Structures are given as structure tokens and as C-alpha cells.
Amino acid sequence: MPELQTTEVGFSGTDEHGDWRTVFYVGGIAPLVLAPIMVFILPESHMFRAAKAAAAEAGRRLNTFKVLFGDGRAAASILLWLGFFGTTLVTYLLLNWLPKLLVNNGFSKTDASFIQIFFNIGSAAGSIFLGWLMQKKPRRMILFVCYVGVAAFLYGLTLVGKSVVLASWDVAIIGMFLLGAQYILYGLSPLFYRTESRGTGTGAAVAAGRLGSATAPQLGGLLVAAGASFGQVMESLLPVTALSAAAAILLMFCHRDP
């Protein structure tokens, strides 16, 4: 009986294209190299240093609980967390599972990879445009529009059939609105906290987003393992998007610190 031929890719981490672990080495080492450089080229603003000095003179100590929930900031903090969590969950589920889902829906692996590239291109280019628009004409309603766009084109992705062109454009627009919403949240977060504690407030919101990014791959795996179709997975993201949109609307009415 002939022996089965096996590959050692899963054990050695290498194949004919090279060692896949190199990506993680670069991704882990690069931030460590850049961090000390950024300390010198991106110093804290004069406003932050002045506010921190004033707080020290007044004897005010940083209390994380009070920063997040004191002086009427509880609602803003929770809404920011919900916005970050939902947005990041949808983003990372698509990043991790979109190619597999597209193949399950009848696309070839080559076409699925091509479509995924458009998701990344749309995310990068579109988010830059929305960030510029938000800076030029600040309107928090743009955040709500982003979520409406995500929901509309997630549903639209279930209707494109086997058209690579339509699917590519659709996921590019989804990427634009998703990353655009996330970057707008980054820009809005410091507005709800005092200058000297904005890092704590924003950091907590970003941490909530990291929980979404950790949940996303698991959720995608559970849905696929349960036999969910491509359309069902896309539709399962609509309530998450709606939750983030609701948080964005309510955030518009929250008090902002001067």
C-alpha cells in the first residue's frame, strides 16, 4: 500500500513561497523600533502639557473611574465603547473570513483574493477621504452616514451574484465606510474628555475595539461551522452595524468637555 504524501507546511511554517512567520516578525519588531522615534518627532501638544501642569498644581490626581464615568461622561464612554466594538468586530470578521465566505459562495480562490484586495484598497483610500472631509467640514452626522453605508452595501453584497466586478466595488465601499467610521471615532473620542485625561478615555474606547477584533474571528468560525450561508453571515453583521449606528446617533447628544 503506497504511503500518503504529506506536507510539512503546518509544522515548519515554510513553503515554496517562504516563511509565513516573517510577516509576524516584521509586524512585531517594526512598532518597537518606531515607538522611541515617535516619542521625539511627535511630542505632546502645548495644550496637553499646560493642562497636565495645571492639574498637578491643583492637586488633581488621575482617577480612571472618574475620567470615564465622572462629571456626566458615563454615557459618552459607553457609547464610544459600543461604537468601537461593533465597528472593529465587523471589520475583522471581513478581514479574516471574507475570502473563505466568497469561495463558499461560488467564487474561485483567485477571484476571492482579488475581491479582498479591493476591500483593502477601499479601506485605505476611502478612509483618508472621509477623514479629510470630516476635518474640512466637521459633521458628526458623517459617522451615522458611514454606518448606513456599511449596512446597505453588506446587504448589497448578497445580491451581486457571481460578478467579480460588482463584488469588488461593493467590498471597496464597505471598506471605505467601515474604516472611515473607525477613524472618525478615533478623532471624536478625545472631545469627550478633559485634555489631561483624553489618552485614558480614548485608550479605554480603543480597548473595547480590541475586544471586537478578538471576538470577530471566533464569531465567523462559529457561523461557518454552523453551516451559515454567505448571505446569512452578511446579514448577521447588520444588527452589529445597527448597534454602532445607534451609538453614533446618541453620541451626538452627549456633553463634550471644553
Whichever domain contains 208, its CATH number is 1.20.1250.20
Q: Share the mean pLDDT of the chain.
A: 85
In a domain, 57, yes or no: no
Residue 4 has pLDDT above 50, yes or no: no
Mean pLDDT of 15-28: 75
Asked whether the predicted pLDDT for residue 153 surpasses 90, the reply is yes
Q: What number is the average pLDDT over the span 166-187?
A: 92
Q: Residue 6 domain-assigned?
A: no
Q: 98 and 158 in contact (C-beta within 8 Å)? A: no
In which band, very low, low, confident or very high, does the pLDDT at 102 lie, cut at 50, 70 and 90?
Answer: very high
Residue with cell 448606513: 148
Count: domains in the chain: 1
Q: What percent of the chain has pLDDT over 90?
A: 47
| pLDDT higher than threshold 90 for residue 209 | yes
Give this prediction's pTM. 0.82
Is 153 inside a domain boundary?
yes
pLDDT at position 7, please? 38
Residue range of the domain that includes 237: 63-251
Is residue 106 a part of any domain in this protein?
yes
Residue 2 pLDDT class (50, 70, 90 cuts): very low
In a domain, 132, yes or no: yes
Question: Rounded distance, CA 108 to CA 254, Å?
Answer: 47
pLDDT at 1: 40
Q: What is the pLDDT of residue 39?
A: 84
- Would residue 164 count as lying in a domain? yes
Residue 204 confidence class, pLDDT cut points 50, 70, 90: very high
Do the domain assignments include residue 24?
no
pLDDT digits (tens, 9 = 90+) for 57-96: 666 677 888 889 988 889 999 999 999 999 999 999 999 9
Q: Is residue 1 part of a domain?
A: no
Higher pLDDT, 204 or 24: 204
Name residue 19's beta-bridge partners: 14
